[in-house]
A and B are shown apart, each in its own frame.
Chain A
């Protein structure tokens, strides 16, 4: 069964802290793993990972995939209040035709 589990469910940090968000998954035929950020409205795409051990980076955000252990992490360094959001992890399912999402991690960054 296709499944995505994210942890922690919520997290409160102070500005400047570094955070690590976790995503574990189960899928019969792995294709990719995606990360999204959701503020008040629509989820916005962050990263798509297909290969183990290769870090994807965008500014203070980075992500890496471990296909052997079936998980991914999203790191945010030097957090800012604007990083406060729900971070969603997803994979496109066994046939690649639909995104299966985890419940998300709620991140709150306090100033």
Chain B
């Protein structure tokens, strides 16, 4: 299995609070991604990174920010959590562009 660790694995938080999810990889892959998965929508890209301090938005980036200060870590922050951000969040990594991506085990986030 690719060395990807997401933390926390489960979190319940209140509306309006900030939340940070962490993705840590041991593969030294260049690309890292954050997806959310909701019933009927499949996997939707939130943000991705193509190197340290290099990030870009995906299709559902509103309400989320990311940071990548080291190759191995990619953080996803919900500045002020809303109930619509209740979802399962997956981190993924790929060695380069146009190569297969490998996924972490996911974080189930519930905003109440």
The 8 closest A-B pairs by CB, nearest first: A96-B98, A42-B103, A96-B97, A103-B42, A101-B43, A101-B42, A31-B98, A97-B97
A residues with CB within 8 A of B: 31-32, 34, 41-45, 48, 88, 90, 92, 95-104
- Contact A34 B48, CB 8 Å, known A42-B105, A42-B106, A88-B42: no
Q: How far, in whole Å, are A48 and B31 apart by their CA atoms in the complex?
A: 17
12 more A-B contacts (CB under 8 A) besides A42-B106, A43-B90, A103-B41?
A31-B98, A34-B100, A41-B105, A42-B90, A48-B100, A95-B97, A97-B50, A98-B58, A99-B101, A101-B35, A102-B42, A104-B42
Whether A98 and B48, one on each chain, are in contact in the complex, defined by CB atoms closer than 8 angstroms, is: yes
Q: For the complex, count residues of B whose C-beta is within 8 A of A.
A: 25
Q: Which residues of A contact B45 (CB under 8 A)?
A: 98-100
Q: How far, in whole Å, are A97 and B97 apart by their CA atoms in the complex?
A: 5
B residues with CB within 8 A of A: 31, 33, 35, 40-45, 48, 50, 56, 58, 90, 92, 97-106
Interface of B is mostly: strand
B90: min CB distance to chain A, Å:
6
- Contact A92 B98, CB 8 Å, known A42-B90, A99-B92: yes
- Contact A43 B42, CB 8 Å, known A95-B97, A98-B48, A99-B33: no
